[in-house]
């Protein structure tokens, strides 16, 4: 199949592109190469993908009509829209970058999908839409109380995609990712920051005074789930169970992408220390605005749709990241 992946030089986009290329698919990657973090990391990811003859890279922003036109020129059968302005905390500093990329940019993707009618459109959302859930979140839970602008733009992404699925019939699945981590991860994420600080002998900042929990999800497990979901497009009027988030008026659903095993933040830190071979100097700090204390996913729907997915233990995933990180840092 011909698959278009936006954000192909990003963390998840790179890993998904690599998996799909290895499976024999043709992949077009669209990425803006924005400097939110070190662009050289994105360039390295794309360079590795470019070693495959069936990979074609397009550089351009989602808001650029010419870039979108080039990306959809061959009418891809599958579209996986991962490109977005990420990060809860950065949304306090640069809010318009979130509406430009996550709202206006997603609208451009929806308009292109309306014209080309792919067999399945998959769109990145986030566990952030659940806000202060305080329990294992299911896809049927209300998500109308976001506590960050980032979460609000992801909620908008879901709402817009539902309206397009209803109006124009493009089967659409929104993917609610839960704290994805692993090799080639983003430098703004906690794992990367902690490993960098430990390697440099500097203190790490632990917000929420270490009392937070996250449903950490290893990147290989995430892309395995996406790969399987590609072939499971929603069909209006055909829910798979009572827990299905399938819309009653559109071929549209949301799916949690997670391991379903929340981990205390301090256990995560201990795993990093073990993998780095050095104890961290810890600064316990209050919660930051926009952060949530716990994330936890109910993965019943995901398992119903695609069967059991890999669930890499956090110690194994952190060890794999740190092994990559040490080599990359050198």
292 three-class SS: coil
* Average pLDDT, integer, range 261-282: 92
SS3 of the chain: helix, strand, coil, percent, to 5: 45, 15, 40
Q: Are 44 and 190 in the same domain?
A: no
Catalytic residue among 98, 150, 181, 218: 150
Residue 111 sits in the same domain as residue 205: no
* Same domain flag for 78 and 209: no
* DSSP assignments along 29-97, one per residue: EEE---TTS-HHHHHHHHHHHTTSTTEEEEE--TT-HHHHHHHTTT--SEEEE------TGGGGT-HHH
Q: Quick one: how far is CA 35 from the chain centroid?
A: 18
Least confident segment among 97-106, 126-135, 198-207: 126-135
* Residue 31 located in a structural domain: yes
Angle between helices 314-329 and 265-276 (to 10 degrees): 50
What's the mean per-residue pLDDT of the chain? 93
Is residue 38 situated within a structural domain? yes
In a domain, 306, yes or no: no
Domain holding 77: CATH number?
A: 3.40.50.720
- Does residue 29 contact residue 17 with C-beta atoms inside 8 Å? yes
Q: Hey, what are 115's tokens? A: 């014209």
Pull the structure tokens for residue 172.
């659409």
> Is pLDDT of 218 > 90?
yes
Same domain, 39 and 100: yes
CATH classification of the domain holding 187: 3.90.25.10
Q: Is 150 a catalytic residue?
A: yes
- 6-38 residue pLDDT tens: 999 999 999 999 999 999 999 999 999 998 888
Give the range of the structural domain holding residue 133, as residue numbers without chain letter: 2-178+218-257
Q: Residue 106: which pLDDT band, with cuts at 50, 70 and 90? A: very high
Judge whether 302 lies within some domain.
no
Q: Indicate if 33 and 52 belong to the same structural domain.
A: yes
Does residue 190 share a domain with residue 108?
Answer: no
The residue assigned the tokens 């059968």 is: 77
| Distances, alpha carbon 145 to alpha carbons 130, 151, 259, in Å | 7, 9, 24
Give domain status of residue 304, yes or no: no
* Residue 322 predicted with pLDDT over 80: yes
| Shared-domain flag, residues 111 and 187 | no
Q: In angstroms, rounded to a whole number, what is the distance separating the alpha carbons of residues 112 and 73?
A: 10
Q: Of 136 and 77, which is predicted with more confidence?
A: 77
Which run of H or E residues covers position 200?
helix 190-200
Same domain? 153 vs 199: no
Contact 276, 233 (CB under 8 A): no
Question: Is the pLDDT assigned to residue 316 strictly greater than 80?
Answer: yes
Predicted pLDDT at 290: 64
Contact (CB, 8 A) for 17 and 8: yes
Look at residue 211 and tell me whether its pLDDT is greater than 80.
no
Is residue 305, in this structure, part of any structural domain at all? no
The answer to whether residues 140 and 69 belong to one domain is: yes
Predicted confidence band at 288 (pLDDT cuts at 50, 70, 90)? Answer: confident
**pLDDT of 296 over the 90 cut:** no
Query: Please, what's the b/e burial string for 290-326 (b: 16 or more CB within 10 A of its CB; e: otherwise)?
Result: bbbebbbbbbbbbeebbeebeebebbebbbbbbeebe
On whether both 207 and 225 belong to a single domain, the answer is: no
Residue 243 clears pLDDT 90, i.e. is over it:
yes
β-partners of residue 2 are 26
Q: What is the reported pLDDT for 12?
A: 98
Greater pLDDT, 287 or 97 = 97
pLDDT at 309 over 90: no
Domain count, the chain: 2
Question: What tokens does 298 get?
Answer: 């109910």
Taking every pair of Cα atoms in the chain, the longest distance, rounded to a whole number of angstroms, is 57
pTM: 0.94
Confidence of residue 313 (pLDDT cuts 50, 70, 90): very high
Better pLDDT: 218 or 88: 218
Q: What is the pLDDT of residue 134?
A: 67
114 and 20, same structural domain?
yes
State how far the Cα of 102 lies from the Cα of 89, in Å rounded to an integer: 15
pLDDT above 90 for 283 = no
**Is 80 exceeded by the pLDDT of residue 209?**
no
As to burial, measured by CB atoms within 10 angstroms (0-12 exposed, 13-18 middle, 19+ buried), residue 250 is buried
Residues 96 and 201 occupy one common structural domain = no
pLDDT at position 86: 87
Checking if the pLDDT of 257 tops 80, the result is yes
Q: pLDDT tens across 142-193, in order?
A: 999 998 999 999 999 999 999 999 999 999 999 999 999 999 999 989 999 9
What confidence score (pLDDT) does residue 62 get?
94
Domain annotation covers residue 167: yes
Strands 213-214 and 263-264: antiparallel
């Amino acid at each position: 199949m011909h698959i278009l992946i936006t954000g192909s030089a990003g963390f998840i986009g790179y890993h998904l592109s690599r998996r799909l290329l290895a499976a024999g698919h043709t992949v077009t990657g669209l990425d803006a190469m924005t400097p939110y973090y070190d662009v050289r990391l994105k360039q390295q990811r794309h360079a590795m993908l470019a070693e495959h003859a069936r990979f074609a890279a397009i550089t351009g922003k989602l808001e650029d009509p010419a870039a979108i036109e080039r990306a959809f020129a061959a009418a891809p059968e599958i579209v996986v829209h991962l490109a977005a302005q990420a990060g809860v905390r950065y949304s306090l500093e640069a809010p318009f970058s979130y509406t430009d990329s996550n709202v206006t940019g997603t609208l451009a993707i929806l308009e292109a999908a309306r014209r080309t009618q792919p067999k399945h459109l998959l769109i990145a959302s986030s566990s952030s839409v659940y806000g202060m859930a305080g329990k294992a979140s299911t896809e049927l839970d209300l998500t109308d109380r976001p506590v960050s602008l980032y979460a609000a733009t992801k909620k908008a992404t879901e709402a817009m995609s539902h309206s397009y699925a209803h109006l124009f019939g493009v089967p659409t699945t929104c993917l609610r990712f839960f704290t994805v981590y692993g090799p080639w991860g983003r430098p703004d994420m906690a794992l990367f920051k902690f490993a960098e600080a430990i390697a440099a002998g500097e203190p790490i900042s632990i917000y929420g005074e270490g009392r937070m929990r996250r449903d950490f999800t290893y990147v290989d497990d995430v892309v395995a789930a996406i790969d399987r979901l590609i072939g499971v497009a929603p069909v209006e009027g055909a829910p798979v169970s009572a827990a299905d988030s399938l819309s009653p008026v559109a071929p549209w659903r949301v799916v949690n992408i997670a391991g379903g095993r929340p981990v205390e933040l301090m256990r995560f830190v201990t795993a990093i220390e073990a993998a780095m071979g050095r104890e961290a100097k810890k600064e316990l700090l209050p919660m930051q605005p926009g952060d949530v204390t716990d994330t936890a996913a109910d993965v019943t729907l995901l398992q119903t749709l695609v069967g059991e997915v890999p669930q890499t233990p956090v110690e194994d995933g952190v060890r794999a990241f740190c092994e990559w990180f040490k080599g990359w840092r050198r």
